[in-house]
Chains A and B, each alone.
Chain A
Amino acid sequence: MRRFSLKSLISEAFNAHQGWERQWRTPEPKAAYDAVIVGGGGHGLATAYYLAKEHGITNIAVIEKGWLGGGNTGRNTTIIRSNYLYEESEAIYEHAMKLWAGLSQELNYNVMYSQRGVLMLAHNSHDVQSFKRHVYANRLAGIDNEWLTPDEAKEFCPPLNISPDLRYPIVGAALQRRGGVARHDAVAWGFARGADAMGVDILQNCEVTGFRRDAGGAIEGVETSKGYIATRRVGVVAAGHTSVVMARAGLRMPLESFPLQALVSEPVKPVFPCVVMSNAVHAYISQSDKGELVIGAGTDQYISYSQQGGLHVPIHTLDAICELFPQFSRMRMLRSWGGIVDVTPDRSPIIGKTPIPGLYVNCGWGTGGFKATPGSGNVFAWTIAKGEPHPINAPFTLDRFRTGRLIDEAAAAAVAH
């Protein structure tokens, strides 16, 4: 792998940029691998990267039925924060946050991580109580989160309308200053490039169609659209399609897949300095470095794999955006789309072992998985390498739905997040 540096940029500038090589290979599948990752999104590629980097397992294939980062990695609104309520969630999202901070250097690839601050608006007394509880819980865990008055929120985000005449006036806000955004595609590409350089085979346009198990029931290989591949360890990181893949191994999952919609505006000059989200009126907004307003809408109410949803869902969010930021009311929206998110009953992910020996799963990130990408891959790689969960993902078992030891962020946030 040719590293990016000031020297290489200058020399290529005088070479009409003819010397850049492909960022990763397009290999043919081998007959056998030490481990196979099913799903070439951010989480899957990060898993392969950390398996090779931290655990020395480089004979790995990442099998992706479409193209790299073409699912939710390329469809989300790229918000990164770690101010969750419960200790288990704080630990995993903060683990990711710390990896984000050094990720561009780690990968030698600019993921454009920008810590511009994430502002969560409170519109009623329940929001105030809930967000203050989050602030105090986060501080106890060593995670920055602070409470702002409406005037302080306005100072941090000047476009914000804090008029008391709003239908749902802003009565305060919680701010995580370390939160922000990153370039979603670059995350997938950076992990892919780094993993490939260590010998990981990335197999695109290859679908896992079945699993082969030995006499004892353990995984001994996967059937794919490009032939049979022998392996004793499989990590499924298939997001919205996890139920479909796991059904091919004969397992049912506590998951439902919903379309989650987002949209972007026409690009404009820098007008929006941070990320603003509101659970109560349901709006997520930031501005990309390209200039588009990136707006996150909600999920449709029915299970679907169609990667699109009803227009009333983004309209509901745009109503809220226009109320909070009246100057955007005449902006034109360029495009909207949907991604299929796999939602668990408690809105916390499942990362760990399954009842089938050799089969591991990392799923259930629901509507908020992008922020966890490096942390999720990091602890999942540990789990696959050692056959036991890392202490950080140990609480996120599939078994918690039997024991009742839920990590109920659904109730904590009172909204999909």
Chain B
Amino acid sequence: MLLIPCPYCGDRPEIEFRGGGEAHIARPSDPQTIDDQAWAEFLFYRTNPKGLMAERWNHAHGCQRWFNALRDTVSDRILESYKMGEKPIGGGRA
């Protein structure tokens, strides 16, 4: 089980959280004009990286807030978490 650093509550066990998948996928800003392939890519296509991944988490059984985390999908080690709208510092947590 992962120990997930909620930026609001601190380290909590994974069972308190709901995974939200890949982070930073922006909804198309001009939905009237984009074609079906662009919609498919927004809705269904994912990077699914082997290595560093930015993903969303919801602290469902805690503060209930959404945030992002940077995790290595090979070791499952979480390098850092950051609030919505923020950018990862990229150097890992001290």
Cβ of A403 under 8 Å from chain B: yes
Q: Which of A30-38, A144-152, A304-312 contacts B (4 or more CB under 8 A)?
A: A304-312
Whether A256 pairs with B46 at a CB distance below 8 angstroms is yes
Closest CB-CB distance, A52 to chain B, in whole Å? 31
Name which of A255, A302, A310, A345 has the most chain B CB atoms within 10 A of its CB.
A302
- B36 — nearest CB in chain A belongs to which residue? A402
Closest CB-CB distance, B47 to chain A, in whole Å? 7
Given A241-B50, A312-B1, also A403-B19 (CB < 8 A): no
* Partner among B36, B48, B76 whose Cβ is within 8 Å of the Cβ of A306: B76
Residues of B within 8 A of A306 (CB): 73-76
- B15 — nearest CB in chain A belongs to which residue? A312
Question: How far is it, in angstroms, between the C-alpha of A320 and the C-alpha of B30 when the chains are bound?
Answer: 47
Cβ of A243 under 8 Å from chain B: yes
Residues of A within 8 A of B49 (CB): 243, 303
- Tally chain B residues at the interface, Cβ within 8 Å: 28
Cβ of B53 under 8 Å from chain A: yes
Residues of A within 8 A of B53 (CB): 303
Question: How far is it, in angstroms, between the C-alpha of A90 and the C-alpha of B9 when the chains are bound?
Answer: 48
Whether A253 pairs with B48 at a CB distance below 8 angstroms is yes
Whether A311 pairs with B46 at a CB distance below 8 angstroms is no
Main secondary structure of the interface of B (DSSP, over half): mixed
Given A257-B48, A302-B19, also A310-B2 (CB < 8 A): yes
Residues of B within 8 A of A244 (CB): 48, 50
Whether A401 pairs with B40 at a CB distance below 8 angstroms is yes
Cβ of B21 under 8 Å from chain A: yes
Given A304-B73, A311-B1, A402-B37, also A256-B48 (CB < 8 A): yes
Cβ of B12 under 8 Å from chain A: no
Residues of A within 8 A of B44 (CB): 254, 344-345, 401
Whether B50 pairs with A403 at a CB distance below 8 angstroms is no
Closest CB-CB distance, B58 to chain A, in whole Å? 11
Cβ of A252 under 8 Å from chain B: yes
Question: How far is it, in angstroms, between the C-alpha of A402 and the C-alpha of B15 when the chains are bound?
Answer: 35
Q: List 4 additional contacts besides A243-B46, A243-B47; criterion CB under 8 Å.
A: A254-B44, A256-B46, A304-B73, A312-B1
A-side residues, CB < 8 A to B, are 241, 243-244, 252-257, 301-306, 310-312, 344-345, 401-404
Cβ contacts A to B, 16 pairs, < 8 Å: A243-B49, A252-B41, A254-B40, A254-B45, A256-B21, A301-B18, A305-B50, A305-B73, A305-B74, A306-B73, A306-B76, A345-B43, A402-B36, A402-B39, A402-B40, A403-B36
